[in-house]
Amino acid sequence: MTTPIVAIVGRPNVGKSTLFNRLAGKPLAIVDDTPGTTRDRLFSETIWNGVRFQIIDTGGIDPSEGGKDPLSVGSADYISQIRAQALLAVEEADAVVFVTDAASGITPADQEVADLLRRYQKNLEGVHYPPIHLAVNKADNETLRAAAMEFYALGLGTPFPISAVHGTGTGDLLDSLVSSFIVNEEQEEDQSVKIAIVGKPNVGKSSLLNKLAGEERAIVSPIAGTTRDAIDSPITYEGAPITLIDTAGIRRKGKIDRGVEKYSVIRSMRAIERCDVALLLVDATQDISAQDTHIAGYILEQWKSTVVIVNKWDLVEKDTFTMEEYTRQIRQALNFVDYVPVLFISALTGQRVNKVLPLALQVQEERMARVGTGALNRILMKSQDLHSPSSKTGRQLRIYYGTQVRSDPPTFMLYVNDPQLMHFTYQRFLENQLRAVYPFSGTPIRFVLKKRS
């Protein structure tokens, strides 16, 4: 399950930032009585009932949009931008918390925001998405909690009377949020192999998508940043259902513009989270950059399988050793994922593009492979005979036995005398010994250590 995103929206000065701080568990957002204090979006991660999710605090949606009497008096010059960013958050969100004010009752501005939110919902088989959770804030006493029931008139379901300042009622709101994540995950589940095409801006991701799909499904332009959404393209390859995900180029943090581009990068990161195999595109006309390394690192953090695709190979002047030298540079820069296959292509001319999907599906098969317990323990015993673990404070690591507890990615439980005695270098040695017999091409291997007396 990918990390769900919750957007907190509403008209100005209803307590969105106070609720954001309450859910985040720390004062990240500036809270002030002046409407329009929050102009940009703030992000934080929180957890409820074991479910981790991201929350986004947005500026107030001001229905006046720069009219004569804007509600956001503190940000009158930025109303249209604030509104645009709040609606971008709604488009990206898995759930929306619409915050209103119990003391004010339903205002014309609340009604307009409610109508606006309905228009931004995507209709999936009759189900409105993302779900909207109506929070009636500032319900600080019994009278105001009872008055919150009038918000049924907005037509957005059950109102949750809460007090963001005191935390009253937020538990019921969070229970409802988490329940909607689980329902949506079940609705969205499919059996296709998900292949994300990721990389820096302007390395040819959309061109490759179009070649693989056999038609123009994404706009191709030499202008970096043309693709802003993570575009899903279902195809069938030799009977196998595949979902190709084209993503926006991921720049370095300091170079990401506020607004649309920031959301594009979030979508790209989420595409990595939900894919099975990531095709990391690099530009053959440039050296491997720190940003290529950063993206590869994020793929590894999510335990996803990887294929490095070197695009624009047709533009490189070559001799007998050019491919070998470029591969060496890639291996050196990405030495922490030295198990990934490298393929040289040209999305423009179609050179070797026909090998991309077979290689990605082969890597996916490796991702799902299993090693028998007997075979695994023979490798572990041979590894320890070949190279004993170094002792630490007079004690030596002992590996009693191991077993594969899951695939996707391959995960091995090793029963040892003391997990703290396992040094990173020895764990890497064990991984190399295992890969010598079972390559798990393109796929990370995870070891979990468990103490056994």
Question: What six digits make up the tokens of 451?
Answer: 């103490």
Binding-site annotation, residues? 10-17, 57-61, 137-140, 199-206, 246-250, 311-314
pLDDT band for 133, please (50, 70, 90 cuts): very high
Say yes or no to pLDDT of 104 above 60.
Answer: yes
Note the pLDDT of residue 4: 85
Q: What span, in angstroms and rounded, lies between the C-alpha atoms of 244 and 363?
A: 15
Question: What six digits make up the tokens of 232?
Answer: 């899903």
Radius of gyration, CA atoms only, the chain: 26
Nearest to 193 by CA among 235, 242, 238, 234: 242
Q: Which fold has domain 193-368?
A: Rossmann fold (3.40.50)
Q: What is the DSSP letter of 391?
A: P
Q: Which long-range contacts (CB under 8 A, 24 or more apart) does 226-231 make?
A: 227/264, 228/260, 228/261, 228/263, 228/264, 228/267, 229/264, 229/267, 230/196, 230/267, 230/268, 230/270, 230/271
Note the pLDDT of residue 229: 42
Burial class (CB in 10 A: 0-12, 13-18, 19+), 276: buried
pLDDT band for 435, please (50, 70, 90 cuts): very high
| Equal fold, 5-180 vs 193-368 | yes
Q: Decide if 182 contacts 157 (C-beta within 8 A).
A: no
pLDDT band for 245, please (50, 70, 90 cuts): confident
Mean per-residue pLDDT for 188-211?
85
Give the least confident one: 3-7, 61-65, 342-346: 61-65
Say yes or no to pLDDT of 31 above 70.
Answer: no
Note the pLDDT of residue 201: 85
- Residue type for position 286: Q
Q: What span, in angstroms and rounded, lies between the C-alpha atoms of 187 and 183?
A: 6
**Max avg pLDDT among 58-62, 74-78, 335-339, 417-421:** 335-339
Say yes or no to pLDDT of 49 above 90.
Answer: no
Binding-site annotation, residues for GTP? 10-17, 57-61, 137-140, 199-206, 246-250, 311-314
- List pLDDT tens digits, range 304-337: 999 999 999 999 998 889 999 999 999 999 999 9
Q: Per-domain residue ranges for the chain? A: 5-180, 193-368, 373-451
Mean per-residue pLDDT for 33-51?
63
Going edge to edge, which strands form the sheet with 411-416?
399-406, 411-416, 446-451
What's the CATH code, domain 373-451?
Answer: 3.30.300.20
| Euclidean distance between the first and the last CA atom of the chain, given in angstroms as a whole number | 35
Mean per-residue pLDDT for 239-253?
77
Q: What span, in angstroms and rounded, lies between the C-alpha atoms of 447 and 453?
A: 19
Q: What percent of the chain has pLDDT over 90?
A: 40
Q: Which residue has the higher pLDDT, 7 or 42?
A: 7
Which top CATH class is 5-180?
alpha beta
Q: Decide if 254 contacts 291 (C-beta within 8 A).
A: no
Q: Residue 66: in which H helix or E strand, if any?
A: none
Nearest to 245 by CA among 221, 281, 282: 281
Note the pLDDT of residue 390: 77
Mean per-residue pLDDT for 10-39?
68
Note the pLDDT of residue 452: 82
Note the pLDDT of residue 76: 43
The whole model's pTM is what?
0.59
Average pLDDT, the chain: 81
Q: Decide if 340 contacts 327 (C-beta within 8 A).
A: no
- Residue 48, classed as helix, strand or coil, is strand
Note the pLDDT of residue 98: 93
